[in-house]
Structure 1
Amino acid sequence: MQLVVARIGRAHGIKGEVTVEVRTDEPELRLAPGAVLATEPAAAGPLTIETGRVHSGRLLLRFAGVGDRTAAEALRNTLLIAEVDPEELPEDEDEYYDHQLMDLDVVTEDGTAVGRITEISHLPSQDLFIVERPDGSEVMIPFVESIVTEIDLEEQRAVIAPPPGLIDDRAEIASAREAEREPGDGAEREPGDGQGPAESGPREAGDAS
Protein backbone atom coordinates (compact mmCIF):
# COMPACT_ATOMS: atom_id res chain seq x y z
CA MET A 1 0.00 0.00 0.00
CA GLN A 2 1.32 3.43 -0.95
CA LEU A 3 0.79 6.30 1.48
CA VAL A 4 1.92 9.92 1.47
CA VAL A 5 4.53 10.57 4.17
CA ALA A 6 5.65 14.14 3.35
CA ARG A 7 5.37 17.08 1.00
CA ILE A 8 8.46 18.89 -0.21
CA GLY A 9 8.59 22.59 0.59
CA ARG A 10 11.00 25.27 -0.51
CA ALA A 11 14.71 24.92 -1.04
CA HIS A 12 17.01 25.61 1.90
CA GLY A 13 20.47 26.98 1.20
CA ILE A 14 22.42 26.33 -1.98
CA LYS A 15 23.44 22.69 -1.62
CA GLY A 16 20.18 20.96 -2.53
CA GLU A 17 18.43 20.70 0.82
CA VAL A 18 14.66 21.11 1.01
CA THR A 19 12.20 21.67 3.83
CA VAL A 20 9.49 19.05 4.14
CA GLU A 21 5.99 19.03 5.60
CA VAL A 22 5.98 15.75 7.51
CA ARG A 23 2.82 13.67 7.21
CA THR A 24 3.86 10.65 9.23
CA ASP A 25 4.15 9.97 12.95
CA GLU A 26 7.41 8.08 12.39
CA PRO A 27 9.64 10.32 10.27
CA GLU A 28 12.72 8.64 11.73
CA LEU A 29 11.56 5.45 9.98
CA ARG A 30 9.87 6.67 6.80
CA LEU A 31 12.20 9.61 6.08
CA ALA A 32 15.53 8.13 7.14
CA PRO A 33 18.69 8.34 5.00
CA GLY A 34 18.63 5.55 2.46
CA ALA A 35 14.85 5.46 2.12
CA VAL A 36 13.64 5.30 -1.48
CA LEU A 37 10.33 7.07 -2.04
CA ALA A 38 7.93 7.27 -4.93
CA THR A 39 6.60 10.71 -5.83
CA GLU A 40 3.55 12.55 -7.08
CA PRO A 41 4.04 13.63 -9.81
CA ALA A 42 5.70 10.33 -10.64
CA ALA A 43 8.14 12.00 -13.06
CA ALA A 44 9.92 13.67 -10.11
CA GLY A 45 11.02 10.36 -8.59
CA PRO A 46 11.78 7.97 -7.25
CA LEU A 47 13.90 9.90 -4.75
CA THR A 48 16.50 8.46 -2.40
CA ILE A 49 17.07 10.34 0.84
CA GLU A 50 20.77 11.10 1.26
CA THR A 51 20.76 13.16 4.45
CA GLY A 52 18.27 14.50 6.95
CA ARG A 53 18.50 16.97 9.82
CA VAL A 54 16.28 19.21 11.92
CA HIS A 55 16.83 22.96 11.62
CA SER A 56 14.75 25.53 13.56
CA GLY A 57 12.11 22.90 14.22
CA ARG A 58 11.78 21.80 10.59
CA LEU A 59 13.05 18.67 8.91
CA LEU A 60 15.50 19.25 6.07
CA LEU A 61 16.24 16.53 3.53
CA ARG A 62 18.75 16.18 0.74
CA PHE A 63 18.14 13.68 -2.06
CA ALA A 64 20.68 11.78 -4.11
CA GLY A 65 21.35 13.59 -7.38
CA VAL A 66 19.90 16.89 -6.15
CA GLY A 67 22.97 19.01 -5.59
CA ASP A 68 21.98 22.66 -5.91
CA ARG A 69 19.21 25.11 -5.09
CA THR A 70 17.75 25.10 -8.60
CA ALA A 71 17.26 21.34 -8.59
CA ALA A 72 15.85 21.46 -5.06
CA GLU A 73 13.38 24.23 -5.92
CA ALA A 74 12.14 22.18 -8.87
CA LEU A 75 10.87 19.57 -6.39
CA ARG A 76 8.69 22.02 -4.48
CA ASN A 77 5.19 20.67 -3.64
CA THR A 78 6.16 17.14 -4.68
CA LEU A 79 4.53 14.47 -2.49
CA LEU A 80 6.74 11.73 -1.08
CA ILE A 81 5.13 8.29 -1.02
CA ALA A 82 6.23 5.23 0.96
CA GLU A 83 5.31 1.61 0.39
CA VAL A 84 3.65 0.38 3.60
CA ASP A 85 2.48 -3.10 4.50
CA PRO A 86 -1.32 -2.77 5.00
CA GLU A 87 -1.08 -5.22 7.92
CA GLU A 88 1.52 -3.12 9.71
CA LEU A 89 0.33 -1.39 12.88
CA PRO A 90 1.82 1.54 14.84
CA GLU A 91 3.84 0.69 17.93
CA ASP A 92 1.61 2.85 20.17
CA GLU A 93 -1.82 1.26 20.66
CA ASP A 94 -3.42 4.72 20.72
CA GLU A 95 -2.06 5.69 17.31
CA TYR A 96 -3.56 4.78 13.96
CA TYR A 97 -2.54 5.02 10.34
CA ASP A 98 -4.76 7.07 8.08
CA HIS A 99 -5.84 4.04 6.06
CA GLN A 100 -7.16 2.40 9.24
CA LEU A 101 -9.39 5.37 9.98
CA MET A 102 -10.71 6.17 6.52
CA ASP A 103 -14.37 5.22 5.94
CA LEU A 104 -15.06 4.51 9.62
CA ASP A 105 -18.64 5.25 10.64
CA VAL A 106 -18.82 8.06 13.21
CA VAL A 107 -21.46 7.74 15.94
CA THR A 108 -22.13 9.50 19.22
CA GLU A 109 -21.96 7.64 22.52
CA ASP A 110 -25.73 7.12 22.45
CA GLY A 111 -25.50 5.49 19.02
CA THR A 112 -26.65 8.43 16.89
CA ALA A 113 -25.10 8.25 13.42
CA VAL A 114 -23.04 11.30 12.47
CA GLY A 115 -21.45 10.27 9.18
CA ARG A 116 -18.38 8.67 7.63
CA ILE A 117 -14.71 9.70 7.75
CA THR A 118 -13.68 10.71 4.24
CA GLU A 119 -10.44 12.59 4.98
CA ILE A 120 -7.93 13.19 7.76
CA SER A 121 -6.41 16.66 7.98
CA HIS A 122 -3.06 16.95 9.76
CA LEU A 123 -2.67 20.38 11.36
CA PRO A 124 0.28 21.57 13.46
CA SER A 125 -1.78 21.51 16.67
CA GLN A 126 -3.90 18.40 16.11
CA ASP A 127 -5.46 16.07 13.55
CA LEU A 128 -9.01 16.47 12.26
CA PHE A 129 -11.49 13.94 10.93
CA ILE A 130 -13.40 15.29 7.93
CA VAL A 131 -16.76 13.56 8.26
CA GLU A 132 -19.34 13.43 5.48
CA ARG A 133 -22.88 13.51 6.83
CA PRO A 134 -25.84 11.71 5.23
CA ASP A 135 -27.08 14.98 3.69
CA GLY A 136 -23.72 15.52 1.97
CA SER A 137 -22.48 18.25 4.31
CA GLU A 138 -19.17 17.94 6.16
CA VAL A 139 -18.20 18.37 9.79
CA MET A 140 -14.70 18.50 11.27
CA ILE A 141 -14.04 16.40 14.36
CA PRO A 142 -10.81 17.07 16.33
CA PHE A 143 -9.02 13.75 16.90
CA VAL A 144 -8.45 14.25 20.61
CA GLU A 145 -9.19 11.84 23.43
CA SER A 146 -11.79 14.07 25.06
CA ILE A 147 -13.92 14.03 21.88
CA VAL A 148 -13.05 10.76 20.10
CA THR A 149 -13.64 8.37 22.97
CA GLU A 150 -13.28 5.08 21.11
CA ILE A 151 -11.89 3.68 17.87
CA ASP A 152 -13.34 0.23 17.15
CA LEU A 153 -11.62 -1.18 14.09
CA GLU A 154 -13.51 -4.46 14.27
CA GLU A 155 -16.86 -2.69 14.17
CA GLN A 156 -15.43 -0.06 11.80
CA ARG A 157 -16.63 2.88 13.84
CA ALA A 158 -15.40 5.90 15.78
CA VAL A 159 -17.37 6.91 18.86
CA ILE A 160 -17.44 10.60 19.77
CA ALA A 161 -18.61 12.77 22.67
CA PRO A 162 -19.07 16.08 20.83
CA PRO A 163 -19.06 19.32 22.84
CA PRO A 164 -21.98 21.73 22.26
CA GLY A 165 -22.00 23.19 18.78
CA LEU A 166 -19.56 20.75 17.18
CA ILE A 167 -22.09 18.78 15.16
CA ASP A 168 -25.38 20.60 15.83
CA ASP A 169 -26.84 23.88 17.06
CA ARG A 170 -26.66 23.11 20.77
CA ALA A 171 -24.19 25.99 21.21
CA GLU A 172 -26.83 28.47 19.96
CA ILE A 173 -29.41 26.97 22.32
CA ALA A 174 -26.99 27.24 25.23
CA SER A 175 -26.23 30.87 24.35
CA ALA A 176 -29.94 31.71 24.30
CA ARG A 177 -30.36 30.08 27.68
CA GLU A 178 -27.47 32.15 29.10
CA ALA A 179 -29.06 35.34 27.76
CA GLU A 180 -32.21 34.60 29.75
CA ARG A 181 -30.36 34.48 33.08
CA GLU A 182 -30.80 37.24 35.64
CA PRO A 183 -28.03 39.90 35.68
CA GLY A 184 -25.26 38.88 38.03
CA ASP A 185 -25.82 35.15 37.66
CA GLY A 186 -22.54 33.31 37.17
CA ALA A 187 -21.97 31.39 33.95
CA GLU A 188 -19.90 28.24 33.99
CA ARG A 189 -17.90 27.60 30.84
CA GLU A 190 -19.05 24.39 29.15
CA PRO A 191 -16.66 22.07 27.31
CA GLY A 192 -15.68 23.62 23.99
CA ASP A 193 -17.70 26.78 24.73
CA GLY A 194 -15.57 29.67 23.47
CA GLN A 195 -12.32 27.76 23.81
CA GLY A 196 -9.84 26.93 21.11
CA PRO A 197 -9.13 23.34 19.98
CA ALA A 198 -8.04 21.04 22.75
CA GLU A 199 -4.42 20.04 22.78
CA SER A 200 -3.93 16.69 21.10
CA GLY A 201 -3.73 13.80 23.50
CA PRO A 202 -2.14 10.41 22.97
CA ARG A 203 -4.48 9.61 20.09
CA GLU A 204 -2.92 10.86 16.87
CA ALA A 205 -3.51 9.83 13.31
CA GLY A 206 -0.41 9.15 11.26
CA ASP A 207 -0.25 9.67 7.54
CA ALA A 208 1.60 6.62 6.78
CA SER A 209 3.33 5.67 9.55
Structure 2
Amino acid sequence: MKRPYLIIGVCQRPHGTGGEILVKSLTDDDTRFFEGLTCYLLEDAEGKPLERLSLSGARPTDKGLLLSFSGIESRDRVRALSGRYLAVKRENALALESDDEFYYGDLIGLAVTDRKAGPLGRIFDILDAGSGEILIVRQEGDKDVLIPFLRSIILKTDADAGQMEVLLPDGLLELYRTNREA
Protein backbone atom coordinates (compact mmCIF):
# COMPACT_ATOMS: atom_id res chain seq x y z
CA MET A 1 0.00 0.00 0.00
CA LYS A 2 1.33 3.42 -0.91
CA ARG A 3 1.98 5.94 1.82
CA PRO A 4 -0.76 8.58 2.21
CA TYR A 5 1.82 11.37 1.98
CA LEU A 6 4.16 11.92 -0.96
CA ILE A 7 7.56 13.38 -0.13
CA ILE A 8 8.38 16.35 -2.35
CA GLY A 9 11.45 17.79 -0.63
CA VAL A 10 14.03 17.55 2.13
CA CYS A 11 14.61 20.51 4.46
CA GLN A 12 18.33 21.23 4.63
CA ARG A 13 19.31 24.36 6.53
CA PRO A 14 18.20 27.91 7.38
CA HIS A 15 19.04 30.70 4.95
CA GLY A 16 19.49 34.13 6.43
CA THR A 17 17.52 35.39 9.41
CA GLY A 18 14.11 35.97 7.82
CA GLY A 19 12.63 32.50 8.05
CA GLU A 20 13.76 30.94 4.77
CA ILE A 21 15.02 27.36 4.52
CA LEU A 22 17.02 25.68 1.78
CA VAL A 23 15.09 22.66 0.49
CA LYS A 24 16.24 19.92 -1.84
CA SER A 25 13.38 19.28 -4.25
CA LEU A 26 12.41 15.67 -4.97
CA THR A 27 10.23 16.58 -7.92
CA ASP A 28 11.12 17.34 -11.51
CA ASP A 29 8.70 20.28 -11.53
CA ASP A 30 9.66 22.96 -9.03
CA THR A 31 6.59 25.01 -9.98
CA ARG A 32 4.69 22.64 -7.70
CA PHE A 33 6.09 24.75 -4.81
CA PHE A 34 3.62 27.64 -5.03
CA GLU A 35 2.35 30.18 -2.53
CA GLY A 36 -0.50 28.71 -0.50
CA LEU A 37 0.56 25.08 -1.00
CA THR A 38 -0.27 22.98 2.04
CA CYS A 39 2.73 20.85 3.02
CA TYR A 40 3.23 18.41 5.84
CA LEU A 41 6.43 18.05 7.82
CA LEU A 42 7.51 14.41 8.30
CA GLU A 43 10.28 13.17 10.59
CA ASP A 44 11.02 10.22 8.31
CA ALA A 45 9.70 8.63 5.12
CA GLU A 46 7.27 6.40 7.00
CA GLY A 47 6.24 8.97 9.57
CA LYS A 48 2.98 10.64 10.31
CA PRO A 49 2.87 14.40 9.80
CA LEU A 50 4.42 16.40 12.62
CA GLU A 51 3.02 19.70 11.42
CA ARG A 52 0.91 21.25 8.67
CA LEU A 53 2.64 24.14 6.88
CA SER A 54 1.43 26.74 4.39
CA LEU A 55 4.01 27.81 1.82
CA SER A 56 4.32 31.60 1.69
CA GLY A 57 7.25 31.93 -0.71
CA ALA A 58 9.53 29.95 -3.01
CA ARG A 59 12.53 30.93 -5.08
CA PRO A 60 15.10 28.82 -6.91
CA THR A 61 18.85 28.98 -6.26
CA ASP A 62 21.85 27.06 -7.55
CA LYS A 63 21.79 24.93 -4.38
CA GLY A 64 18.05 24.19 -4.22
CA LEU A 65 14.85 26.01 -3.40
CA LEU A 66 14.51 28.67 -0.74
CA LEU A 67 11.11 28.28 0.89
CA SER A 68 9.28 30.23 3.55
CA PHE A 69 6.19 29.22 5.48
CA SER A 70 3.42 31.24 7.10
CA GLY A 71 4.09 31.78 10.81
CA ILE A 72 7.73 30.64 10.66
CA GLU A 73 9.90 33.73 10.81
CA SER A 74 12.89 33.03 13.06
CA ARG A 75 16.13 31.27 12.23
CA ASP A 76 15.75 29.03 15.31
CA ARG A 77 12.29 27.91 14.24
CA VAL A 78 13.56 27.20 10.71
CA ARG A 79 16.54 25.26 12.11
CA ALA A 80 14.06 22.86 13.76
CA LEU A 81 12.84 21.90 10.25
CA SER A 82 16.33 20.83 9.10
CA GLY A 83 16.62 17.17 8.16
CA ARG A 84 12.87 16.65 7.92
CA TYR A 85 10.83 15.81 4.85
CA LEU A 86 8.18 17.99 3.19
CA ALA A 87 5.21 16.10 1.82
CA VAL A 88 1.79 16.63 0.27
CA LYS A 89 -1.25 14.43 0.54
CA ARG A 90 -1.01 11.84 -2.22
CA GLU A 91 -4.36 12.88 -3.70
CA ASN A 92 -2.92 16.39 -4.20
CA ALA A 93 0.20 15.18 -6.04
CA LEU A 94 0.73 16.09 -9.68
CA ALA A 95 -0.45 13.27 -11.92
CA LEU A 96 2.07 10.91 -13.50
CA GLU A 97 2.05 10.80 -17.29
CA SER A 98 2.42 7.03 -17.77
CA ASP A 99 2.26 3.72 -15.91
CA ASP A 100 6.04 3.25 -15.93
CA GLU A 101 6.65 6.56 -14.11
CA PHE A 102 6.93 7.01 -10.37
CA TYR A 103 7.50 9.75 -7.84
CA TYR A 104 11.04 10.21 -6.47
CA GLY A 105 9.46 10.67 -3.07
CA ASP A 106 8.14 7.11 -3.23
CA LEU A 107 11.72 5.81 -3.46
CA ILE A 108 12.75 7.32 -0.12
CA GLY A 109 12.58 4.59 2.52
CA LEU A 110 12.41 1.62 0.13
CA ALA A 111 14.32 -1.46 1.30
CA VAL A 112 17.05 -2.29 -1.23
CA THR A 113 18.17 -5.87 -1.81
CA ASP A 114 20.97 -6.94 -4.10
CA ARG A 115 20.31 -10.17 -5.97
CA LYS A 116 23.73 -11.54 -4.91
CA ALA A 117 24.65 -9.78 -1.66
CA GLY A 118 21.20 -9.60 -0.02
CA PRO A 119 19.80 -6.66 1.99
CA LEU A 120 21.72 -3.39 1.59
CA GLY A 121 19.59 -0.94 3.59
CA ARG A 122 17.00 1.71 2.76
CA ILE A 123 17.06 4.55 0.27
CA PHE A 124 17.93 7.62 2.29
CA ASP A 125 18.35 10.22 -0.44
CA ILE A 126 18.68 10.76 -4.18
CA LEU A 127 21.55 12.80 -5.61
CA ASP A 128 21.45 14.52 -8.97
CA ALA A 129 24.93 13.81 -10.31
CA GLY A 130 24.42 15.77 -13.53
CA SER A 131 24.69 12.74 -15.79
CA GLY A 132 22.06 10.85 -13.80
CA GLU A 133 20.66 10.17 -10.37
CA ILE A 134 22.45 8.30 -7.58
CA LEU A 135 20.55 6.47 -4.84
CA ILE A 136 22.05 6.75 -1.36
CA VAL A 137 21.32 3.54 0.52
CA ARG A 138 21.84 3.61 4.28
CA GLN A 139 22.00 0.79 6.79
CA GLU A 140 22.79 1.51 10.42
CA GLY A 141 26.30 0.46 11.33
CA ASP A 142 27.50 0.37 7.70
CA LYS A 143 28.79 2.95 5.24
CA ASP A 144 26.27 4.40 2.80
CA VAL A 145 26.22 2.73 -0.61
CA LEU A 146 25.86 4.95 -3.69
CA ILE A 147 23.98 3.18 -6.47
CA PRO A 148 23.61 4.65 -9.97
CA PHE A 149 19.92 4.83 -10.87
CA LEU A 150 20.21 2.88 -14.12
CA ARG A 151 17.92 0.33 -15.77
CA SER A 152 20.87 -2.05 -15.98
CA ILE A 153 21.21 -2.03 -12.15
CA ILE A 154 17.64 -1.51 -10.91
CA LEU A 155 15.85 -4.79 -11.59
CA LYS A 156 12.52 -4.13 -9.88
CA THR A 157 10.88 -1.30 -7.97
CA ASP A 158 7.72 -2.01 -6.00
CA ALA A 159 6.74 1.11 -4.05
CA ASP A 160 3.56 -0.59 -2.81
CA ALA A 161 5.63 -3.34 -1.18
CA GLY A 162 8.39 -0.93 -0.12
CA GLN A 163 11.05 -2.91 -2.01
CA MET A 164 13.69 -2.39 -4.67
CA GLU A 165 15.77 -5.20 -6.16
CA VAL A 166 19.15 -4.41 -7.70
CA LEU A 167 22.04 -6.23 -9.30
CA LEU A 168 25.17 -4.28 -8.46
CA PRO A 169 28.13 -4.41 -10.83
CA ASP A 170 31.04 -6.49 -9.57
CA GLY A 171 33.17 -4.51 -7.12
CA LEU A 172 30.68 -1.70 -6.41
CA LEU A 173 29.58 -2.94 -2.98
CA GLU A 174 33.18 -3.63 -1.96
CA LEU A 175 33.97 0.07 -2.46
CA TYR A 176 31.74 0.84 0.51
CA ARG A 177 31.50 -2.28 2.62
CA THR A 178 34.58 -4.47 2.81
CA ASN A 179 33.09 -6.79 5.42
CA ARG A 180 30.62 -8.37 2.97
CA GLU A 181 30.92 -10.93 0.28
CA ALA A 182 29.15 -10.24 -3.01
Say which one has the larger Rg.
Answer: 1
1:106-160 CA-to-partner distances (Å, cap 9, x unmatched) read 43xxxxx44356411323423326398xxxx898361332642643659x76453
Q: Which residue of 1 aligns with 2:90?
A: 84
Structure 2: distance between partners of 1:146 and 1:43: 33
Runs of 5+ consecutive residues of structure 1 not aligned to the other structure: 108-112, 170-209
Q: Which residue of 2 aligns with 1:123?
A: 127
Normalised to the residue count of structure 1, the TM-score between the two structures is 0.53
Which residue, 16, 29, 41 being the options, matches 1:39?
41
Normalised to the residue count of structure 2, the TM-score between the two structures is 0.59
Give 1:48 deviation, angstroms.
0.6
SS in 1 for 2:39: strand
4+ aligned runs moved over 4 Å, structure 1: 41-44, 94-98, 103-106
Q: Percent identity?
A: 21
Q: Which residue of 2 aligns with 1:177?
A: none
Q: Is the strand fraction higher in 1 or 2?
A: 2
| 1:142 correspondence with 2:144 | no
SS in 1 for 2:78: helix
Q: Which residue of 1 aligns with 2:23?
A: 20
More relative contact order, 1 or 2 (CA 8 Å, 6+ apart): 1
Q: Which residue of 2 aligns with 1:48?
A: 54
1:152-205 CA-to-partner distances (Å, cap 9, x unmatched) read 659x76453x43312469xxxxxxxxxxxxxxxxxxxxxxxxxxxxxxxxxxxx
Provide the aligned C-alpha RMSD in A: 4.2
Structure 1: distance between partners of 2:166 and 2:56: 42
Give 1:17 deviation, angstroms.
1.6
